[in-house]
Amino acid sequence: MIDVAGSRRISADQAVEQREDKADAALLLVDPLRAGAGLDGIYSAGREIGEAELFGEVLKLARKPFFGRMGVLDEAVWRAERLGRRRRLTPWSKFDFYVGAADDPGGALARLGLWPVASDGDPSTSELDMSAELTDRLLYVSDTRAIAERVRALQLEDATERGPELERALRSVSGMSPEEAARRIEEQPDLWLGSLKPGFASEELRRIHLTPWRDTKGGVLKWSGLRGDNYDGRLSGDYDGR
């Protein structure tokens, strides 16, 4: 039975009645866990549309409003699929993202499991890079550092105010999947990238790391392009101008 007026939910018996009355064509989404034997006639009279075929069409429709803008949105999907050991997004996640992006492309990034971005228009490539980096550091955690330490490592510009707020948010999503956690962050615009300004993203030189040209036995590493052919032990090589 239709449990709520206008809910567009029908029972198996009502579906069979529509078939016998030769009513207009209809698309039925069947809950396989609750469907009874009465739907056998529906299955035999209709054509099953698989998930791949269904979402292939709905994704085309969802992408239509973004003609000429798909580049940056596809880049967002590409980055999201490379987080967490190259995970694959479900067709529903992509559909949900495109639908949400029609109103707010930056905020809809959370539907992909990326950190949302406060942006007037489509996120830039650099914002997508930073979104993926922030997500990787905070939601796909591979180290055992405390939340406070990971937040300090971001070198936030407004660390006094945003730092404790971000820590509380991360504690509240502890134990959730990265996708669920990102959706919770979507509900807190003050923590979106843009309002949140990580200092590690600055182009200012903060550290120099020197890598030795010799191996543990004192030999010259091949990648250096240097030669240890002098008797006094000094290195020589050809300078290529780079």
- Per-residue pLDDT of 110-158, as tens digits, reads 999 999 999 888 899 999 999 999 998 898 876 677 899 989 988 888 8
Identify the CA nearest to 17 among candidates 48, 39, 47: 39
- Between CA 125 and CA 129 the distance in angstroms is 6
Where do the structural domains in the chain lie, given as residue ranges? 12-48, 66-201
Beta strand 226-227 with 236-237 is antiparallel
Contacts of 216 (CB under 8 A, 6+ apart): none
- List pLDDT tens digits, range 72-99: 888 999 999 888 765 688 888 999 999 9
Question: pTM above the 0.75 mark?
Answer: no
The dihedral of CA 142, 145, 146, 150: what is its sign? negative
Amino acid residing at 43: Y
Q: Decide: 140 and 129 in contact? Cβ < 8 Å.
A: no
d(CA 18, CA 197): 57
Instruction: Report the C-alpha gap between 171 and 169 in whole angstroms.
Output: 5
